[in-house]
Amino acid sequence: MRTVGVEEELLLVDPDTGVPCALASEVLARLAKWGDEESEAPPHPFARELQGQQLEFGTRPHTDMDALGAEVVRRRRAVARHAREAGASVVALATSVLPVRPAVNAGVRYQWMEQQFGLTTQEQLTCGCHVHVSVASDDEGVAVVDRIQPWLPVLTALSGNSPYWHGRDTLYSSYRSRVWGRWPMSGPTPVFGSAERYHAQVDAMVTSGVVRDRGMIYFDARLSHRYPTVEIRVADVCLEATTTRLVACLSRALVDTAARDWKEGRGPLGHGVNLLRLAAWQGARSGLDGELLHPLTMLARPAPVVVYALLDHVREALEDTGDLAWARRATADLLARGNGARLQRALFARTGSLSGVVAGCVRRTLGEREPRYPAPERT
């Protein structure tokens, strides 16, 4: 059974105002000193990110999705505990709800990025969820990357958790993905066809000098430069750990399905990058409350129809890992209650306060339940 690991980026915010605060160094120092119940030996699984208002953790590789979901919850609570003692709250928001001036962290790599990409780097206070799924070889990994591309916008829609951008409603479900798309090395990719062609393209991008190294290749799905995995990078950080688990579960099933198709001689769907970019935009815009482009036809259909098409596409893989029944229940529940973007807007409608939105999301990040909210009427 393939292993799955998750990397989550989290925001640090002022407990009273909800404005992000640049306390990552302080929180990480506490984590390095005291650790958490999961860290039996250094290095601990927490790390700084581009901006001082955010930090990241990574899980262990898991084959059991219950164990993965439980670890995500424990990691979030460990960060929250140490953040609280440093004067901050932790929240799983993919963008800042309130106006903020991001603070790029010190360090050669981050300073190079700020000099190279200017305002794109300075404004890039976004939090994603990256899923690593093990593959047997680079050949298998590239075959997977080629075949999963049309389905990735559905993961963006499921995870959408960034409707607000610095005090404004963007009308998007995942505005983070639109901000992330400003990087010139990000986004969907054409069919590579072989590991040799994939590596040649990556080498050419690094040789160009526009990017510093292979770690800056931000494809929607890529071969990890550190692990023997395919890394799927399209999801917002999810407001609820249950959604993180669902995204990870579906990601593994997509990889399993694609690898099986490759071995049995079934090729990629072959949609061009332009159509893939449209599908990615539609997934970010609509989330679960509008239409998505169906990966098989690239025609607009209601979001639930496309989500269940994804479940049908990976049904055999989910059956093989014993995850089918849980994935069906979790998907139905998510469609009923809505993703993080719907919850954030409902919190604002209820409280009339963007700070109230952040406060409600802090509670939800740590597993405290909120009432379900109906889908908003579309105008």
CATH architecture of 4-365: 2-Layer Sandwich (3.30)
Residue 97: closest CA among 165, 160, 51: 165
Q: Which residue has the tokens 């298998």?
A: 140
List pLDDT tens digits, range 331-357.
999 999 999 999 999 999 999 999 999
The predicted-structure confidence for 191-239, as pLDDT tens digits, reads as follows 999 999 999 999 999 999 999 999 999 999 999 999 999 999 999 999 9
Which residues neighbour 76 within 8 Å (Cβ) at sequence distance 6 or greater?
Answer: 8, 10, 90, 92, 241, 365, 366
- Whether the model pTM is above 0.75: yes
Structure confidence at residue 45 (pLDDT): 84
pLDDT in tens, 82-109: 999 999 999 999 999 999 999 999 899 9
Q: Which residue, 44, 168, 28, 170, is CA-closest to 86?
A: 28
Name the 3-class secondary structure at 134.
strand
Helices 241-263 and 152-159: angle between axes, nearest 10 degrees: 170
If you average pLDDT over residues 122-141, what whole number do you get?
A: 97
Residues 6+ apart with CB under 8 A from 126: 9, 94, 95, 162, 176, 179, 180
How long, in residues, is the chain? 379
Residue 304 confidence class, pLDDT cut points 50, 70, 90: very high
Residue in 175, 251, 207, 182 with CA at minimum distance from that of residue 5: 251
**How far is it, in rounded angstroms, from Cα 5 to Cα 348?**
33
> Mean pLDDT for the chain?
94
Instruction: State how far the Cα of 298 lies from the Cα of 106, in Å rounded to an integer.
Output: 43
Residue 36 pLDDT > 80, yes or no?
Answer: no
Residue 373 is predicted with a pLDDT of 45
Share of the chain above pLDDT 70, in %: 94
The phi, psi pair for 173, rounded to 5°, reads -85, -40
- Distances from the Cα of 221 to the Cα of 185, 232, 316, angstroms: 12, 5, 22
Say which residue, 198 or 31, is predicted with more confidence.
198
The whole-number average pLDDT for the span 138-167 is: 98
